[in-house]
Amino acid sequence: MRILVDADACPVNDIIIRVAKKYSLKAIFITDTAHVLSSHDENVEVLIMDKGRDSVDFALINRLEKGDVVITGDYGVATMALARGAYVLNHNGKRYTNENIDFMLMNRHIARAIRQSGGKTPRIKKRTIEQNNWFEDGLVNLIAEHLNE
């Protein structure tokens, strides 16, 4: 089990590194040249892809192995990762599953249609400590649940 991170603008990198170290898991952060990441931790690898539409997404999916954990806020990446047998979390610790991903994709489609027609959708609020705690709890629970499979 490894942790692969869609690291473009990921707000929970430090938590991921801490949890990966605690469980002796490798964490692979994949980003593009527009984002700067570095880590000197032996469990952490940072891969930098060329800037381009979906370059990070495809690099992550191409490196994915069944049973890996994927951290992403992108429903498309989550869908592909689930199809490859990964466990997927968003940045708030919510699990993407085969049972809920279609609903999330439909909501994304509806929100996009509303915006394209001139409507407004809710703005993303500033990140809270509570969201970080939810993420860490979700990641730890997922790892503990699946580590010994």
Give residue-wise pLDDT tens across range 78-134: 999 999 999 999 999 999 988 877 767 677 666 677 777 887 767 777 888 999 999
Domain ranges of the chain: 2-96+126-146
Q: Phi, psi at residue 52, to the nearest 5°?
A: 175, 155
pLDDT at position 37 is 67
Taking residues 4-31, report their average pLDDT.
92
Structurally, at CATH architecture level, domain 2-96+126-146 sits in: 3-Layer(aba) Sandwich (3.40)
Q: Please state the pTM of the whole predicted model.
A: 0.84
Show the 3-state SS of 2-21. EEEEECCCCCCHHHHHHHHH
Would the pLDDT of 5 be above 70? yes
CB atoms within 10 A of CB 100: 13
Q: What are phi and psi of 23, to 5 degrees?
A: -100, 10
Q: What are phi and psi of 93, to 5 degrees?
A: 85, 5
- The predicted pLDDT at position 127 comes to 84
What average pLDDT does the chain have?
86
Phi/psi of residue 43, nearest 5 degrees: -85, 0
